[in-house]
């Protein structure tokens, strides 16, 4: 699905079709599409340290990717969306909390020089854990580094967020 005016692209392309055989992947994908449709193309409100937000740390290639940042956390049914930064620099993570946590999608925007994504049933690898109110997502993203944006790259990442 391409949200032309939004600049988002989710799902298979002619170059990389994705076959869905797992009901939980289909359920998560449907919920993601519903969440994306409900949120439209508006910018998220600025994150603040309140009851609906917290802080996060991010590392790329085992190196800290900046200072601790504020996050906003939104839950729709069983999907928890964690967002930090803005459309140019930050991250968005969607975690399925129904039987998990299970990380569903992570999009990284220019953190530690890396821009890329990973999603369950698609590219990259994801693993989420919960401990004392913190969610940690470890994975490998597929994308590029700012110093060589024409060369695709993979990068291990870790996001720990308190929502």
Which of the pair, 103 or 155, is modelled with greater confidence? 155
The dihedral over CA atoms of 44, 96, 17, 110, expressed in degrees to the nearest 10, equals 40
Q: Is residue 128 part of a domain?
A: yes
Flag whether 14 is in a domain.
no
pLDDT for 52: 54
Whose tokens are 């998220």? That residue is 44
Provide mean pLDDT across the span 77-92: 94
User: Can you give the pLDDT at residue 16?
Assistant: 43
Domain that holds residue 83: 52-163
**Stretch 49-71: mean pLDDT, rounded?**
81
**Domain membership flag for residue 46:** no
pTM: 0.67
- Nearest by Cα to 101 from 21, 19, 159: 159
- Output phi, psi for 34, to 5 deg: -65, -45
How many domains does the chain contain in total?
Answer: 1
User: If you write DSSP's letter for every residue of 7-23 in order, what string do you get?
Assistant: TEE-S-BTTB------H
In a domain, 102, yes or no: yes
User: Which tens digit of pLDDT belongs to each residue from 117-155?
Assistant: 999 988 888 999 999 889 999 999 999 999 999 999 999
pLDDT at position 14 is: 45
Task: Identify whether 114 is part of a domain.
Answer: yes
Q: Which residue from 112, 111, 78, 66 is spatially nearest to 92, judged by alpha carbons?
A: 111
pLDDT surpassing 50 at residue 66: yes
Which pLDDT value is given to residue 162?
93
Say how far apart CA 4 and CA 10 lie, in whole Å: 11
Whether 107 is covered by a domain: the verdict is yes
Residue 18 lies in a domain: no
Q: 59 lies in a domain?
A: yes
pLDDT tens string 11-54? 444 444 443 344 444 444 444 444 444 444 445 544 433 335 78
Comparing C-alpha atoms, which of 8, 16, 4, 9 is closest to residue 121? 16
């Amino acid at each position: 699905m391409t949200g032309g005016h939004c600049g988002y692209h989710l799902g298979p392309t002619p170059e990389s079709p994705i076959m869905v055989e797992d009901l939980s992947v289909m359920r998560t994908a449907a919920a993601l599409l519903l969440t994306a449709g409900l949120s439209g193309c508006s910018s998220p409100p600025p994150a603040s340290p309140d009851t609906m937000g917290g802080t996060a740390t991010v590392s790329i290639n085992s190196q800290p990717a900046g200072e601790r940042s504020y996050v906003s956390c939104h839950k729709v049914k069983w999907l928890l969306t964690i967002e930090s930064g803005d459309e140019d620099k930050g991250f968005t993570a969607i975690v399925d909390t129904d039987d998990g946590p299970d990380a569903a999608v992570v999009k990284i925007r220019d953190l530690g020089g890396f821009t890329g994504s990973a999603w369950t049933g698609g590219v990259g690898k994801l693993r989420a854990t919960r401990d004392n109110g913190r969610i940690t997502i470890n994975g490998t993203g597929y994308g590029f580094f700012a110093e060589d944006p024409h060369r695709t790259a993979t990068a291990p990442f870790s996001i720990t967020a308190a929502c």
